[in-house]
Homo-oligomer: A and B are copies of this chain.
Amino acid sequence: MKITTIKLEAPYLVFLGDVGSDLDAKTGLGIAWWRAERCAGQMRFAGCPVDCGLPDLSVAAALSAGVRTVIIGVAPTGGRIRASWLPPLIEFATAGVNIASGLHHKLGDFPQLVAAAREGGADLIDVRTPPSGLPCGLGKKRSGKRVLTVGTDCVVGKKYSALALHVELSRRGIDATFRATGQTGIMIAGEGIAIDAVPADFIAGAAEVLSPDNRPDHWDVIEGQGSLFHPSYAGVTLGLLHGSQPDALVLCHDASRREILDVADHYPIPPLEDFIDRVLAAARVTNPHCEFAGISVNTTTLNDADRSAYLANLEQRYKLPAVDPVATGMRRIADYLLRSRGSSRSAT
């Protein structure tokens, strides 16, 4: 089944504009990390502190470098396109360079930009626009195997862990597909469904479409969204969890996080025991055999000794492999996943 028709033409320019923090630039940073070979450079306004590690290009320099697509690499809270971004975007569109955005705010809402794209023959690509005709979830058991990343908050490495696990499985010759559910993932995979943009009734249905019936030993590695404990986004998380019918889950966490990000009141990150119990109980509504296969933690705030102790403690408490996907890699989670869920038992 063709899920989306997103096609992004390289080379890219990663647009950062006036973004103030790495958290708000995760789209751009992710594309530069996973697809550096497709990126010609980045564009930052004066004073922007974020750096994707790509050459800084002006509009003129980007055009000389043959950039074919400008990717909006930032995702501020609320998903608004700022007026200050428009002048360079209009210049690019007028010159025939496509613009791809993953924000809620649509590129097509800016008449000047639409006119410029028409004049220049550029495409304005909103990767968050969901495919039309999504079905409601059916809850029907599908063939093939699925692993979903679930997080204790937003921005704890669910996408990164899924991408890294997919690389690790593919490296071993396992037949696996990364399934993107967010704007950056879609830009990296070239297809997917922005699950948080579908009408609420279709969340589980979209997740079912995203990971259709497959060969018994095929693994879908599905990018998680939000958190069951997040007061803004837990509905997205639960619908994705139910529709994915995961055989296995990878718990994603940030060792330094004490409270949920970007909410008005104080919401504590739940104890991992509670998190595991609640997520498994919810997952087993649609897949009674679901189990955790590992814990993937962002430990950038810890030194090497503290990281080792922290991960060893998690392993001992939860009887699961615990890794930092950057510092230690996903190898041990892939081992455990294939050992514990490698048969096609749960797919039949």
Q: Please indicate the chain B residues that have their CB under 8 angstroms from the CB of A200 in the complex.
A: 195-200, 203, 235-236, 239
Q: Mark A225-245, 1 if CB is under 8 A from B, else 0.
A: 000110111111111101100
Copies of this chain, tallied across the complex = 2
Q: Please indicate the chain B residues that have their CB under 8 angstroms from the CB of A26 in the complex.
A: none
A45 at the interface (CB under 8 A from B): no
Q: Please indicate the chain B residues that have their CB under 8 angstroms from the CB of A218 in the complex.
A: none
Q: Mark A186-210, 1 if CB is under 8 A from B, else 0.
A: 0000000001111111011100000
Contact A139 to B263, CB < 8 A, known contacts A197-B199, A200-B235: yes
Complex contact B232–A205 (CB within 8 A):
yes
Cross-interface CB contact of A136 among B77, B138, B238, B242, cutoff 8 Å: B77
Contact A104 to B201, CB < 8 A, known contacts A239-B234, A263-B138: yes
Q: How large is the interface on A (under 10, 10 to 19, 20 to 34, 35 or more residues)?
A: 35 or more
Q: Please indicate the chain B residues that have their CB under 8 angstroms from the CB of A196 in the complex.
A: 199-201
> Chain B's nearest CB lies how many Å from the CB of A299?
26
Complex: chain B residue closest to A77, CB-CB: B136
**Within the assembled complex, what's the spacing in Å between the Cα atoms of A143 and B36?**
49
**Within the assembled complex, what's the spacing in Å between the Cα atoms of A100 and B321?**
55
> Chain B's nearest CB lies how many Å from the CB of A222?
15
A286 at the interface (CB under 8 A from B): yes
> Chain B's nearest CB lies how many Å from the CB of A263?
4
**Within the assembled complex, what's the spacing in Å between the Cα atoms of A77 and B139?**
14
Complex: chain B residue closest to A287, CB-CB: B231
Q: Please indicate the chain B residues that have their CB under 8 angstroms from the CB of A267 in the complex.
A: 139, 285
**Within the assembled complex, what's the spacing in Å between the Cα atoms of A129 and B203?**
17
Complex contact B286–A231 (CB within 8 A):
yes
A265 at the interface (CB under 8 A from B): yes
Complex contact B233–A204 (CB within 8 A):
yes
A48 at the interface (CB under 8 A from B): no
**Within the assembled complex, what's the spacing in Å between the Cα atoms of A135 and B231?**
13
Contact A139 to B264, CB < 8 A, known contacts A104-B201, A196-B199, A199-B199: yes
Cross-interface CB contact of A232 among B138, B198, B233, cutoff 8 Å: B138
A216 at the interface (CB under 8 A from B): no
Complex: chain B residue closest to A130, CB-CB: B199
A331 at the interface (CB under 8 A from B): no
Binding site for B on A (CB under 8 A): 77-79, 104, 135-141, 195-201, 203-205, 228-229, 231-240, 242-243, 260, 263-265, 267, 278, 281-282, 285-286
The 3 closest A-B pairs by CB, nearest first: A235-B239, A139-B231, A140-B264
18 pairs, CB–CB < 8 Å, chain A vs chain B: A137-B232, A137-B233, A138-B231, A138-B232, A138-B264, A139-B231, A139-B263, A139-B267, A197-B200, A199-B199, A200-B200, A200-B203, A200-B235, A200-B239, A234-B285, A235-B238, A238-B238, A267-B285
